Chain A
Amino acid sequence: MRRGTKVGLVLAALSLIAATAALSASNRAQAKDTFIVGAEGDPVLLDGSLVSDGTSLRVTAQIFEGLVRNKPGTLKIEPALATGWKASKNGLVWTFPLRKGVKFTDGTPFNSAAVCANFTRWWYRPSELQGDDISYYWNTVFGGYAKPAPGGNGPDKSLYKGCKTRGQYKVELILSRRSTSFLGALALANFGIASPTALKKYKADEGTVGSDGQFRPSGTFATQNPIGTGPYKLQSWKIGDKLVLVRNENYWGPKAKTKTVIVRPISDTTARVQALQTGEIDFANNLTPQDAAVVKSNSNLKVQYRPAFNVGYVGINQKIAPLNKLKVRQAIAYGLDRKSVVGAFYGGQGQLADQFLPPLVEGYAKKGVPQYPYNPAKAKQLLQEAGEKLPVELEFWYPTDRPRGYMPDPPRNFQAFAASLGKSGFKIDARPGQWRGGYVSGVQGGKAALFLFGWTGDFGDPANFLNVHFGSQTDQFGFNNPALFSLLAKADQETDIAKRTALYQQASVNVMQLLPMVPYVHSTVPVGLRKNVTGYKMSPVELEPYSTVVVG
């Protein structure tokens, strides 16, 4: 082959590749009615009641709707398939009038029988599906089953008691005790109402238990035929390749603005960002701080932040002296240089926390919260007032592994806090530990005086933050304050949302006065979008609706 011919062949091959690349780019430009989502992986199943991972729930949230939902971009509860709600005086019976004229995408009418069929299905869940790895949210919110697995929680432990139809368009949910927090949980995609016809037809609950103890669904409801009332319906799903949603043209509310949504699994975050850069996807979920910087620097792309729904804190165990003294705890609060830690180690994604509740959660107190700016002199003074001899020696536990949103690099947080406490009259005894290698059990067992910990909410309700941690005495905090315990119980039981919010605001302030821990950060999660994508409204619980998205 002559040299010229070889060069010619190479050039021809390259131009062929370039030409087809240009062609596919123009294909993409034509596909304006398609929104391509880069997800971290495939959904596990498309049945919200059987999953707890964000990837699955973000898809089921487009197909199914619950009785209530979070107002887009907030954690405020608003009606969805119900048109409202009312609690009985004793707070045990909740009546939901239902929306009329709504149909599931298989044509089945939506009514009270459909709602109760779903609750009954969850309540009578087969025992092999009751574990936290499958039914986490039902367990967390309602906590029991009609027929519990051996050793599991039965009706006596369950918040849920029953569902009653009152005519075609009214249901009553009956609770075993007063608790309003379940209302916020009902907005989760886990409690989306599915077509009872489809549940039966596609054998949602049928399956076999293998010799490995695992349940294998034999029906196709959760894989090929998830039927809800939402703005989208499933067209196809090929695992590893793509999941295609198409607009539900008979949707009862405002129709989805973009006709097709394609979800594409890309587990590697860098690969996700690169696919966003080349336009192979329009949206990349969960970016690292480094990737967020790359996206920001590209003129075709933009970053949006999912509002914080977590808290990182320095825990204090009051069972360990001298931490039972309020002045010593205040000294710790003044001695922690929280602002520097949040500024230095969170890549611009951390917000300085002044209370346990993240700002978007109902009950976040806007005023009256005691502030503890870093002040070593004041810390020392408080220690002396408490009658302590300086330096005060304290064990400080921290995990060496498992970085997470609210704690991207635990040892660095510890080092900075230990240094600032060192300047504030304390002598810190470092206690590193592996998260699952004794750290969590040690902290929860009450062995740690000071410790780095945090919490990410399960659902948008203050009870899931405050009552879980400070509603009763725990070994972790060794904190016993009956007045606060009863205030939190009262707040959870209050059925009037405005009054409830006020009670939680008061509780949030009280917590910061009593200092069972010192919160320092609420961290946000960045996502990447193409600049031509508009209308993507961020949700703290990660359940953004795709129906408002426009690809321009």
Chain B
Amino acid sequence: MLRFVVRRLLLTIPILLGVSVLIFVWVRALPGTPADALLGERATPADVVEFNQRYGLNRPLYVQYWAYLKTTASGELGTSVTSHRPVTTEIKERFPATVELAVAAMVFALAFGLPLGFFAAKKYRSPVDHGSLFLSLIGISIPVFFLAIILKYVFAVRLGWLPTVGRQDVLVNAEHPTNFYVLDGIVTGNWVAAWDATQHLILPAIALGSIPLAIISRVTRASVLDVQSEDYVRTAHAKGVPPSQVDRRHVFRNALLPVSTIIGLSFGILLSGAVLTETVFAIPGMGSWMKEAIFNHDYPVLQSGIMFLALVFIIVNLLVDITYAFIDPRIRVS
């Protein structure tokens, strides 16, 4: 087990190096330069030269890349060109918003995706099955931002049931010791704040969770169908174990194994979807921050922010794999 974990951890080094090259090249391939974005249209060529010199943007690319690698490896993630704040400070403030949203989306996807997939398999080829297929197709094919806009328009703007923007109503007084707003409300005993933060999460979580929901329900369905035809299930039925108990103990539990991998992979979908969802709902998370950084050509934010997200993605998948190895000994052996 230890060898497995160490090997996977070592593998992250070349992955991160590869990612760093990709990000470095990509942000420089964006049309325009930081000088364009920050100096405005009046800047003279001399202003641009001065700006590039001050921020080291006139050095050869390999020198810039090496400097970027060195600072990133030392843990110093640079300073945002637009806000003049350290990138680490901004990550500390924004990452909780994205995690909170991603967790809410995943909870929504699991709460609805698992039962949907399970019942679709149990009622194989029935209207329930077809209905679930239809719903998953919709979930997968509707772009996240479009769903976000529709949900927001209907439930927030037209019906006025839920808020349209942000993480908390500005008139709610709340402390934020952890920056996870729902948790903050609970920890500080401020139930109004906790409920208000939850309300702000509902629509973004549904929009963002739609794709993982669809995937989870399809995988669960396939997995349940598989497990159902296993010998041990037939044996259990033959022994006269009550059907609900067979479903719970033998079918559902075993069917969950492949689903756990999907959860790890879906995390990537959640991170990319967060860019759009956070923008539509004006949530100050990593996604909306990256979007702004692209418009501002904020190289330090883009380089360090994306690198950080890549690292998070790798770690989450590693954790999922380790958990999986714990659940299923066959992985460890192989």
Contacts and interface: CB of A to CB of B under 8 A. Distances in A.
Interface string A325-344: 00000000000000000000
Interface string A259-277: 0001011111011101101
Interface in A133-179: 133, 136, 149, 151-152
Contacts, number: 145
B169 A24 contact: yes
Contact of B279 (A27, A267, A277): A267
A212 B280 contact: no
Nearest to B68: A212
Contact of B165 (A14, A212, A266, A436): A266
Contacts of B292: 41, 267
B231 interface: no
A132 B164 CA distance: 37
Contacts of A34: 171
Contacts of B76: 210-211
A25 interface: yes
Contact of A131 (B54, B86, B199, B280): B54
For chain B, the bracket of interface size reads: 35 or more
Given A240-B284, A267-B282, A212 B39 contact: no
Given A21-B161, A212-B55, A238-B176, A268 B279 contact: yes
B157 A216 contact: no
A415 interface: no
Interface in A1-34: 14, 17-18, 20-21, 24-25, 27-28, 31, 34
Nearest to B299: A212
A402 B41 CA distance: 10
A133 B164 contact: no
Given A271-B165, A280-B165, A213 B170 contact: no
A239 B279 contact: no
Scoring A24, A238, A242, A264 by chain B CB atoms within 10 A of each residue's CB, the highest score goes to A24
A107 to B, nearest CB: 27
A42 B279 contact: no
B308 interface: no
B164 A271 contact: yes
B166 A241 contact: yes
A402 B164 CA distance: 30
A278 interface: yes
A359 B104 CA distance: 53
Contact of A215 (B40, B84, B163): B84
B18 interface: no
B225 to A, nearest CB: 24
Nearest to B90: A239
B93 A240 contact: yes
Given A131-B54, A280-B164, A210 B79 contact: yes
3 tightest Cβ-Cβ pairs between the two chains A and B: A240-B284, A214-B79, A266-B282
26 contacts: A21-B161, A21-B199, A27-B169, A44-B83, A45-B84, A131-B47, A132-B43, A133-B38, A211-B71, A212-B55, A212-B79, A212-B300, A216-B79, A216-B85, A217-B84, A240-B94, A264-B165, A264-B166, A266-B166, A267-B282, A271-B281, A271-B282, A274-B153, A275-B282, A277-B164, A280-B164
Given A216-B84, A280-B163, 7 more contacts: A44-B84, A45-B84, A212-B71, A240-B97, A241-B168, A267-B288, A275-B165
